Amino acid sequence: MMPSTKNAIFVEINQLFLPYLEVFLKSLFRIYPDCPDLLIYHTDLNDTQLSRLRQHAAVKTVRLEEADFVSGPPMASHRPKQADPRISYARFLIWTDRMKEYENVIHLDTDLLILGRFDDLFSCERFTIFAETYQEEDSLFYNSRDPDLSRLLDEDGIRLPARVANCGVFVVPRKDRSPEDFETLCYLLKRYGKYIKWSDQSIINLWMAKKGIRATEDNRFNFQHRLIDTPGGVNELREARIFHFNGVDLTYRLLLVRCARRLCRMPYGWNIYLLVYGAVDNLLRFWRSRRKFFRSLIGTTRHFSPGLQNQ
């Protein structure tokens, strides 16, 4: 049962991730035909795309240019087409007066597949977020040993968390959306902007550290893709409510999202999906290794045969 208080789901999007949003919405509305307000903040969707999204009564779209919000540097892993940082920092709007009518606001990335109801998240009394599974790759900063960075952290009394949080899924109750909380986020962005590696995710982790909030160790509500390939991963996934495709190469991520949506309700569907993922990933690795080999071969040929460059 959905709680009686008014809640919302917050999503940010641009053209690049629109195909993911379409798959995400199909999975969400299948599980939640009674979906609460779904707030879609976007940068560049056209009128036709917006009209299609608004066919569901829960959807409310807002162009980011209409909202006052802060922005900062892009994520380290973003390619040029992804590099518009407004999409990531749009999440900070959750902490503003734009959300004042809602008790709980759940942020969801678009590269998610909704597998089951997550009503527990709508009932959270305090900020809730889930641990990152890619810990060894997920330092908050480009250089966490930078002496200037260490000095700033000491001055702010911030101790970095042992477990970094992943910002694909999190819940912000009214208690943690005060003007002071938003001001703290803006302060941290201004103070640490040149050091951070993962844009808003780094800043939200710093905000958590300053408030003494820790990431929750519960994979059901943010089952990140790496976990499916671990011992017992498929069995754990059967209990998951939200499957997150983070860490999957963008070259074939959308293919896997669409594949998973069709297989997830089949008997042994996740076992089949794991085989598909392994085959696609190995094929891409093979192709890239051969491409690298032939590029190096061409480079060697040109080095010993400079006349070829003029032919």
**Rounded Cα–Cα distance for residues 75 and 65 (Å):** 21
| pLDDT at residue 257 is higher than 50 | yes
Q: Give pLDDT tens digits for 148-170.
A: 999 999 999 999 888 899 999 99
Q: Mean pLDDT, the chain, as a whole number? A: 88
Contact between 165 and 215 (Cβ < 8 Å) = yes
Q: What global pTM score does this model have?
A: 0.87
Q: Give pLDDT tens digits for 71-92.
A: 777 776 555 555 577 788 999 9
| pLDDT at residue 295 is higher than 90 | no
User: Who wins on pLDDT, 285 or 303?
Assistant: 285
Residue 20's pLDDT is what? 94
| pLDDT at residue 308 is higher than 60 | no
Residue 85's pLDDT is what? 73
User: Who wins on pLDDT, 135 or 124?
Assistant: 124
Q: Give pLDDT tens digits for 181-217.
A: 999 999 999 999 999 998 999 999 999 999 999 999 8
Residue 4's pLDDT is what? 61
| pLDDT at residue 299 is higher than 80 | no
Contact between 85 and 74 (Cβ < 8 Å) = yes
**Rounded Cα–Cα distance for residues 250 and 248 (Å):** 6
Pick from 164, 266, 260: which is nearest to 206 by CA? 164
Residue 285's pLDDT is what? 83
Q: Name residue 107's beta-bridge partners.
A: 10, 170
pLDDT band at 307 (very low <50, low <70, confident <90, very high): very low
